[in-house]
Amino acid sequence: MKNRNEELKRKLKKAASISLCAVLAGGLAAGTYTGVNYLTGYEQSVQAASKEQVTLLKSDKESDDSDSKEESTAKGSLDVSDIVEETMPSIVSITTKSVEEVQSYYGMFGQYGAYSPEQREVQGSGSGIIIGKNDTELLIATNYHVVDGAETLSVGFCDSTACEAKVKGYDSEKDLAVVAVSLDDIDSDTMDAISIATIGNSDNLKVGEQVVAIGNALGYGQSVTTGIVSAKNRQLNSDDTVGDYDSDSNSATNLIQTDAAINPGNSGGALLNMNGEVVGINSAKLASTEVEGIGYAIAISDVTDTIESLMNEETRDKVEDHGVLGITVQTVDSAVTEAYGVPEGVLVREVTEGGAADDAGIEARSIITKFAGKTVTTKEQLVDFLSYYEPGEDVELTIEVPDGKEYKEETVTVTLGKSEDTQNADSKDSQNQDGATDEDGNLLEDWQNNEGGAGLQYGEGWN
C-alpha cells in the first residue's frame, strides 16, 4: 500500500512538471510573438498598403483556398463588449448634405394651384467602415444610397472629430461606395485612435451564428445591436420582396438576413462575427405592419473585388463646366428591355453633328452601357458621371450597337466637348419626338410614357 502511494505521488509530480513546462512554453511563445511584432514595427492601428495597389486587410483565419467551405469558428456570447472595444475605432458616421426640389407654399395654395418648385437643403446620415489607406487618403466603405446625390460629405470618427470627405468611386447596382478623407485633414491623435477593419469570410457563416451590428443609427452616433444570422443567400428585389440569391445575375446582390436591429443611419455600417471581423455591410431593413423588422447586410465575400477596385479609383471633384457628349438620350429600363429585347442602358436618340460623340463615331440607336468602366442604367447616372470630367478629357464608353436584329458590344474613346448654348438645348428637347426604334427599325411610340430625352450636349436642366 505504501509503495502504491509513493508511485501515485511520483506520477502526480511528473504531471505537474509537464503542465508547468507547457505554461512556460506558451508564455514564451506569446512573449516572442509580441517581441517580434515590436521589433518589426507592426501596428494594429491604421496601416498603409503598397503604393501600387490598395488592398483590404483580410483575416488571417481565412483559408487561402477560395473553394473552402469550412464553417466559422466564431461562437456567440452574451457579452460583446470586447468586440465593440476592438472594432468601434474602425466604424465612422457619415453626414451628407444635398439639395432637393420641393413644391413651394405658393405652388400648393396659390392661384390655380400652379406648380412652383423651390430648392432646399436636406441632411442625411449613414455609416462607414475604414478599410484602408493610401499615401494621401483614408478609405472608407459605405452604401451607395448613403452618398447618392450628396453635395457635401462629412465623416465622424470614434474620437468625435470630423473631416470633409469625397466620393472616390461607387457601384450603384451593388449599392457600394468608397469615400476618401485626405490624410492632411486628420490630426495625429485621431490617426492613433482609429483603426482599419479586418475583413472576414461571409461564406463561412452559419445560420444561427451570433453577429453584431455597429452603425450611426438615426444619426445619433454609433450604437451597437446584436442578433443572429437568420438566413443566407437572400436577394432584395426592386419591389421590396425577398427571394433567393441568383448568382447568375450580374446586378443581384447576395444578402445576409439578420434579426440584429438595423435602423436608418445604420446603412454602410459593419455586420461583425464573434471574431470582430466584418462579414457584411448593413444595407437595408424590411418593415411593415406584418413584419417585426428584418435587417439585411451585403455579404462581404461577394464584393471584396468590387470594393478593392473602388479603393483604387482616382478621386475626382465635381466641376462646374463639365464636358459633354453632344447627344440626346433616353433611359432604357428593365421593362423596356423585357418588352423589346434591347440592352438596358441609355439610348442615343440623336447625335449632334461635329460633337464629341459624332467625332468618336457613335451613331443614333446605340445604347451606352458603361462610362469609364462604370455601369450606366439611366440618363441621370450618365449626367452624374459627366459632372466629374472636364472638356477635353478622354473617356471610354461601352456601347451596344444595332447589328441586324441583335446588338454587338463596342468600346469607344470620346474626347469630351464644351458646353454651349443652354437655351438652344432647352428648345431642342421640347421639339424631340419621344420614342425609340425596335429591332426592325420601326418607331415605338409612347416608349417609357413619352419620357423626354436629356440634352446632354449642353449640360443643363437634366436633374
The residues assigned a catalytic role are: 145, 175, 267
Nearest by Cα to 97 from 133, 48, 63, 147 = 147
Which amino acid is residue 353, in one-letter code?
E
Nearest by Cα to 281 from 303, 311, 263 = 303
Rounded to a whole number of angstroms, the CA Rg of the chain reads: 28
Q: Is 112 helix (H, G, I), strand (E, B) or coil?
A: helix
**Degrees (nearest 5) of the Cα angle 210, 142, 120?**
125
Q: What are phi and psi of 275, to 5 degrees?
A: -95, 0
Largest CA distance in the chain: 113
Q: Is 279 helix (H, G, I), strand (E, B) or coil?
A: strand
DSSP structural state of residue 69 = -
What is the dihedral sign for C-alpha 261, 283, 159, 48? positive
Nearest by Cα to 459 from 360, 304, 355, 366 = 355
Provide the grid cell at 364: 443614333
Strands (E), 13-56: none
280, containing H or E segment: strand 278-288
HEC per residue, 312-368 = CCCCCCCCCCCCECCEEEEEECHHHHHHHCCCCEEEEEEECCCCHHHHCCCCCCCEE
From CA 35, how far away is CA 45, in angstroms rounded? 17
From CA 48, how far away is CA 44, in angstroms rounded? 11
From CA 276, how far away is CA 200, in angstroms rounded? 8
From CA 459, how far away is CA 345, in angstroms rounded? 19
**Degrees (nearest 5) of the Cα angle 351, 357, 360?**
130
Q: How many residues would you count in the chain?
A: 463
Which amino acid is residue 52, in one-letter code?
E
386, containing H or E segment: helix 379-386
